[in-house]
């Protein structure tokens, strides 16, 4: 927003604020419902609509809303190392936000993945603060140029899901500044996001939602940021401390901590009106920035699902750019002349769409693609005599899958789905106040309920469907519910959950449900069975409101149940061997493994770096049966690869949204020359990861013992050999670097130097190469990592051609945080190295430069 635009926003906001009562001002400081702020109709002040998130615009319904474009996840976007990709996918997000009338998009996620087990790693960009901050700035600028607010999150260090509502992170000052805060600092300096979301966790003893040092001293005083700070959903832990610290907006609504409690606190003299006014002004300014100030009578229309051909093209390219080729022995890929050949597409993810990880970034894609269908379609369109077949080989589900839509029927509509009825009592008496047709057996009662039912009043509900199995045998049915629940099959009680739960082993989002309970029951193919879930909402946890302190006990907000169903797969050993035999008889075997939204998800960290179930055993068996085995891994985090030496090809495919199958086919068949590079380090084993000795903490305290040595910095510092280093990725062509030069070779505190290197394509096909520039400080006064990424350039090079890659270094590139001075310091008269490298462990080519006199700075 321009200076004049900012001034107009301030002027309009001041005018509206001057006309408001205390009650109206306070109303602005908390949400109206799950996604919207409160309007002030008397003054023509509209509401603001928010929506998740960084990998798509879900809209205003959390579960089973209208479909949306499903983007590659954050780690895949970062693996492209390409600002053009960020800008392009943002055009999709902008159009999707407008189609769903969204004013503020809740993203990007810029927390640094600290452990390979982090359940939310897939959402974040990278383990490197510089790469993360720069990509986030590109994202924010692109979104906000269209008049839609971005919300950078989660401030700060929301990097583990284990006990995330309670964990106290003890972070040394240098690590806080150089690792956790730096991506926010870079993004705020380069893009000025209109909003920011606080994290659930504590940092050094204080909840982030009420952290005066972080929100006021750093964010507003040092960095001069003037946007709106909102809580994570249900993450406002206090009344007065959060407001005084600078948390402007409590989300979501209806009101929990603020409202009458904040008014009472003010009337008791516990909080001055100036704090209320300051936050109310920022809400009003955001309303003006999003264009709502000129439309006071705005009424929200129906959300649209606009699946556009142009968007499909953008997302297919973006997904392909992020895929990383880790190994390609004997130039097995690309697969080119496949006439008369047979390809086996095997594994648990071969015929499944694994669009994204789980949690608040999840949504219903406009469409889904799978590796098997996409490969088969592309292969047979070019090579009609080729044969492509698939087999799962193994089962890897963490929870029983939701009921297959093809075998269930809503008894009220006769169409696939579940009938969900809700009563305003706990006994299912009388007529239900709401009956919904739900498309899945994930019956989350989260949005769309009357306000009183989301803030304490209890209710009951029933979910009804019929199941018609395709096969005869012993099938499995499961239930996870928030409150006490009963699951009946043809009137017979199958599962009873007798109390309300909040378990990290729950199959329900937010971990607000019971552990999954399973039963086996014999069912006949073609026979209809009536399934009934009968449950009541959970009993709210009582807590005593204290206006001046943070509340440790969180209000539990989600309800519902999840029903799983798995038909008997038969003899699993025979199932395994069937797939191996298919591989043995094929010319190529593509094994698609990985995790999914149950294994890698918000609310739950992963239990291991290993692939689930018998995945490793399956890969080994297939590779023995077929020497041309191509392993495709779909995860957002590193995995162990005990079979690495026995397979010729490994592809890291991440979670690619709705184009996952097509983008993978493009790479395997050579339509796309892979150019992705890892934005995270792949350790050989979990014990080598920086946080291993200090994760997940004890007694709700975790110490960041690795300090400033996060990610690849740790591996370099400890001289540990990773499985694959940060920045690594190969291509179907080869590149050589030469002629590194620096202009000038003296860096002054307020100056810049340009670094250039020539890149030659020494292979036979056009390719794209990401040149990474690492800076090393020779003999620093304080300990520093051996090298740190401070620039990159992705260039396209034709065979035999030479192009120049370049970057610019400045004070940020050479400074460290001095916790005694409380400032960033560029040491004077120091020698530095800059290395142009293919990845973090590549020797590359090196040049030196000097700094001038010492320079200290804050922002």
Report the CATH number at residue 748: 2.60.40.10
Q: Mean pLDDT throughout 804-810? A: 98
The full DSSP string for 139-154 is HHHHHHTTT-EEEEEE
Quote the crossing angle between the two packed helices 660-668 and 309-322, to the nearest 10°.
50
Indicate whether 464 belongs to any domain. yes
Q: Where are the alpha helices (DSSP H) in 294-361?
A: 309-322
Indicate whether 350 belongs to any domain. no
Distance CA 230, CA 238 (A): 13
Q: Mean pLDDT throughout 79-106? A: 97
For residue 554, what pLDDT is reported? Answer: 54
Q: Among 254, 289, 324, where does a domain finish?
A: 289
Q: Mean pLDDT throughout 223-248? A: 96
Distance CA 779, CA 755 (A): 22
The rounded percent of the chain whose pLDDT value lies above 90 is 88
Q: Is the model's pLDDT at 195 over the cut of 60?
A: yes
Indicate whether 546 belongs to any domain. yes
The string of pLDDT tens digits covering residues 628-649 is: 999 999 999 999 999 999 999 9
Q: Is the model's pLDDT at 511 over the cut of 60?
A: no
3-state SS, residue 723: coil
Tokens representing 219? 């964010």
Q: CB within 8 A of 464, min separation 6: which ones? A: 410, 411, 412, 418, 419, 421, 530, 531, 532, 533
Give the DSSP H/E element, type plus range, for residue 624: helix 615-625
Among 155-169, 227-241, 494-508, 811-825, the least confident range: 494-508
Do 419 and 560 lie in one domain? The reply is yes
For residue 483, what pLDDT is reported? Answer: 87
CATH number at residue 532: 2.60.120.260
Task: Specify whether the CB–CB gap between 402 and 64 falls below 8 A.
Answer: no
Q: CB within 8 A of 302, min separation 6: which ones? A: none
Q: Mean pLDDT throughout 485-493? A: 97
The rounded percent of the chain whose pLDDT value lies above 70 is 97
Indicate whether 178 belongs to any domain. no
How many domains would you assign to the chain?
3
Listed ranges 40-49, 555-564, 765-774; the one with the highest mean pLDDT: 765-774
Tokens representing 391? 């087999």
Indicate whether 495 belongs to any domain. yes
Do 414 and 284 lie in one domain? The reply is no
For residue 456, what pLDDT is reported? Answer: 73
For residue 499, what pLDDT is reported? Answer: 75
β-bridge pairing 588-594 and 559-566? unpaired
256: confidence class by pLDDT, cuts 50, 70, 90: confident
Do 282 and 410 lie in one domain? The reply is no
Q: Mean pLDDT throughout 417-425? A: 95
For residue 502, what pLDDT is reported? Answer: 67
3-state SS, residue 75: helix
63: confidence class by pLDDT, cuts 50, 70, 90: confident
Distance CA 343, CA 332 (A): 13
Exactly one of 232, 559, 716, 793 is catalytic; which is it? 232
Range 614-619, long-range pairs (CB < 8 A, 24+ positions):
614/394, 614/396, 614/576, 615/347, 615/348, 615/394, 615/396, 616/640, 616/642, 616/643, 618/346, 618/347, 618/393, 618/394, 618/576, 618/579, 618/580, 618/591, 618/593, 619/591, 619/593, 619/643, 619/647
Q: Among 547, 566, 585, where does a domain finish?
A: 566
State how far Cα 449 lies from the chain centre: 27
Average pLDDT over the chain reads 94
Q: Is the model's pLDDT at 3 over the cut of 70?
A: no
For residue 451, what pLDDT is reported? Answer: 76
For residue 552, what pLDDT is reported? Answer: 53
**In sequence order, what are the beta bridge partners of 206?**
203
Q: CB within 8 A of 172, min separation 6: which ones? A: 704, 707, 708, 819
624: confidence class by pLDDT, cuts 50, 70, 90: very high
Q: Is the model's pLDDT at 697 over the cut of 90?
A: yes
423: confidence class by pLDDT, cuts 50, 70, 90: very high
Give the neighbor-by-neighbor strand order of the sheet with 816-818. Answer: 816-818, 823-826, 855-857
Do 561 and 417 lie in one domain? The reply is yes
Tokens representing 349? 């993810």
The string of pLDDT tens digits covering residues 40-51 is: 999 999 999 999
Do 419 and 559 lie in one domain? The reply is yes
The string of pLDDT tens digits covering residues 430-475 is: 999 999 999 999 998 877 788 778 777 889 999 999 999 999 999 9
Task: Specify whether the CB–CB gap between 370 and 661 falls below 8 A.
Answer: yes
For residue 557, what pLDDT is reported? Answer: 60
For residue 510, what pLDDT is reported? Answer: 57
7: confidence class by pLDDT, cuts 50, 70, 90: confident
Write phi, then psi, for 824 (nearest 5 degrees).
-80, 140
Indicate whether 140 belongs to any domain. no
The string of pLDDT tens digits covering residues 791-801 is: 999 999 999 99
Query: Alpha carbon of 336 to those of 331, 373, 378, 381: distances in Å?
Result: 11, 18, 11, 13
Q: CB within 8 A of 301, min separation 6: which ones? A: 101
Q: Among 566, 592, 616, where does a domain finish?
A: 566
Burial-class residue 189 by CB neighbours within 10 Å (0-12, 13-18, 19+): middle
For residue 555, what pLDDT is reported? Answer: 52
- Map tokens 């019929």 to a residue: 466
Do 285 and 412 lie in one domain? The reply is no
CATH number at residue 206: 3.20.20.300
Indicate whether 726 belongs to any domain. no
Q: Is the model's pLDDT at 495 over the cut of 70?
A: yes
Q: What is the DSSP letter of 189?
A: H
Distance CA 186, CA 192 (A): 10
The alpha carbons of the chain give a radius of gyration, in whole angstroms, of: 27
Q: Mean pLDDT throughout 206-234? A: 97
Look up 232 and say whether it is catalytic.
yes
The string of pLDDT tens digits covering residues 127-144 is: 999 999 999 999 999 999
Indicate whether 380 belongs to any domain. no
Nearest to 852 by CA among 825, 828, 826, 824: 828
Torsion sign over Cα 491, 493, 495, 501:
positive
Using H for helix, E for strand and C for coil, what is the string for 607-621?
Answer: CCCCCCCCHHHHHHH
Q: What angle do CA 821, 823, 828 make, to 5 degrees?
A: 90
Q: Mean pLDDT throughout 378-399? A: 97
Domain coverage including residue 246: 1-16+28-44+149-169+196-289
For residue 115, what pLDDT is reported? Answer: 98
């Amino acid at each position: 927003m321009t200076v004049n635009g900012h001034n107009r926003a301030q002027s309009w906001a001041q005018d509206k604020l001057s006309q408001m009562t205390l009650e109206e001002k306070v109303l602005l400081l908390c949400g109206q419902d799950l996604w919207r702020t409160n309007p002030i109709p008397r003054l023509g002040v509209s509401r603001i609509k928010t929506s998740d998130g960084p990998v798509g615009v879900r809209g205003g319904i959390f579960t089973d809303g209208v479909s949306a474009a499903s983007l590659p996840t954050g780690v895949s976007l970062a693996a492209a190392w390409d600002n053009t990709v960020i800008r392009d996918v943002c055009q999709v997000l902008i159009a999707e936000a407008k189609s769903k009338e969204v004013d503020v998009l809740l993203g990007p996620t810029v927390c640094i993945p600290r452990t390979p087990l982090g359940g939310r790693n897939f959402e974040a960009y990278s383990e490197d603060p510089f790469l993360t901050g720069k990509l986030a700035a590109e994202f924010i600028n692109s979104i906000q140029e269209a008049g839609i607010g971005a919300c950078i999150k989660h401030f700060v260090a929301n990097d583990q899901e284990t006990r995330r509502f309670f964990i106290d992170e003890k972070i040394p000052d240098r690590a806080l500044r150089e690792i956790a805060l730096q991506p926010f600092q870079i993004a705020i300096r380069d893009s000025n996001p209109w909003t920011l979301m606080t994290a659930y966790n504590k940092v050094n003893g204080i909840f982030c939602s009420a952290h005066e040092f972080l929100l006021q001293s750093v964010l507003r005083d040092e960095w001069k940021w003037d946007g709106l700070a909102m809580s994570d959903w249900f993450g406002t832990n206090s009344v007065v401390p959060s407001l005084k610290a600078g948390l402007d907006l409590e989300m979501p609504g209806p009101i929990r901590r603020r409202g009458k409690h904040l008014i009472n606190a003010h009337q008791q003299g516990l909080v001055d009106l100036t704090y209320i006014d300051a936050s109310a002004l920022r809400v009003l300014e955001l309303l003006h920035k999003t264009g709502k100030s000129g439309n006071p009578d705005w009424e929200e229309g129906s959300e649209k699902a606009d699946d556009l051909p142009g968007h499909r093209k953008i997302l297919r390219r973006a997904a392909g750019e992020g895929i990383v080729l880790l190994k390609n022995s004997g130039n097995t890929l690309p697969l080119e002349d496949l006439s008369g050949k047979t390809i086996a597409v095997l594994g648990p993810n071969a015929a499944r769409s694994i669009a994204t990880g789980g949690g608040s970034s999840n949504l219903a894609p406009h469409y889904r693609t799978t590796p098997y269908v996409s490969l088969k379609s592309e292969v047979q369109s070019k090579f009609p005599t080729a044969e492509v077949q698939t087999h799962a080989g193994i089962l890897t589900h963490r929870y029983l899958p939701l009921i297959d839509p093809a075998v269930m029927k809503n008894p009220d509509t006769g169409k696939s789905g579940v009938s969900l009825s809700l009563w305003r009592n706990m006994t299912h008496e009388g007529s239900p106040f709401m009956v919904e047709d739900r498309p899945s057996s994930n019956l989350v009662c989260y949005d769309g309920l009357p306000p009183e039912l989301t803030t304490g009043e209890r209710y009951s509900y029933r979910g009804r469907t019929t199941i018609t199995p395709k096969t005869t045998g012993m099938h499995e049915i499961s239930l996870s519910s928030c409150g006490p629940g009963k699951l009946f099959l043809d009137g017979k009680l199958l599962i009873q959950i007798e109390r309300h739960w909040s378990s990290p082993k729950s199959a329900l989002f937010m971990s607000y449900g019971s552990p999954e309970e399973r039963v086996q029951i014999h069912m006949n193919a073609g026979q209809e069975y009536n399934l009934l879930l009968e449950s009541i909402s959970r009993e709210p946890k009582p807590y005593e409101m204290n206006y001046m302190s943070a509340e440790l006990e969180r209000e539990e907000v989600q309800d519902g149940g999840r029903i799983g169903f798995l038909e008997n797969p038969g003899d699993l050993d025979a199932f395994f061997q069937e797939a191996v035999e298919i591989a043995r008889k094929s010319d190529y075997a593509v094994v698609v493994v990985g995790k999914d939204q149950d294994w890698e998800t918000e609310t739950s960290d992963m239990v291991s770096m290993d692939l689930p179930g018998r995945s490793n055993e399956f890969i080994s068996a297939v590779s023995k049966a077929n020497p041309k085995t191509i392993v495709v891994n779909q995860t957002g985090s590193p995995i162990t690869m005990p079979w690495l030496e026995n397979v010729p090809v490994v592809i890291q495919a991440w979670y690619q949204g709705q184009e996952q199958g097509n983008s993978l086919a493009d790479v395997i068949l050579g339509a796309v020359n892979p150019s992705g590079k890892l934005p995270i380090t792949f350790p050989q084993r979990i014990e080598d990861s920086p946080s291993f000795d200090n994760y997940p903490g004890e007694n709700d305290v975790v110490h960041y013992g690795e300090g400033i040595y996060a990610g690849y910095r740790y591996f370099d510092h400890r001289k540990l050999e990773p499985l694959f280093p940060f920045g690594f990725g190969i291509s179907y062509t080869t590149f050589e670097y030469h002629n590194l030069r620096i202009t000038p070779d003296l860096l002054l505190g307020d100056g810049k130097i340009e670094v250039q290197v020539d890149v030659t394509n020494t292979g036979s096909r056009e390719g794209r190469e990401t040149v990474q520039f690492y800076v090393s400080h020779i003999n620093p006064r304080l300990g520093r990592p051996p090298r740190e990424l401070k620039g990159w350039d992705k260039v396209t090079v034709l065979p035999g051609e030479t192009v120049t890659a370049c970057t610019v270094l400045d004070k940020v590139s050479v400074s460290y945080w001095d916790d005694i001075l409380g400032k960033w310091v560029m040491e004077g008269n120091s020698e530095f190295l800059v290395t142009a490298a293919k990845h973090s462990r590549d020797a590359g080519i090196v040049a030196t430069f000097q700094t001038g006199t010492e320079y200290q700075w804050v922002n």
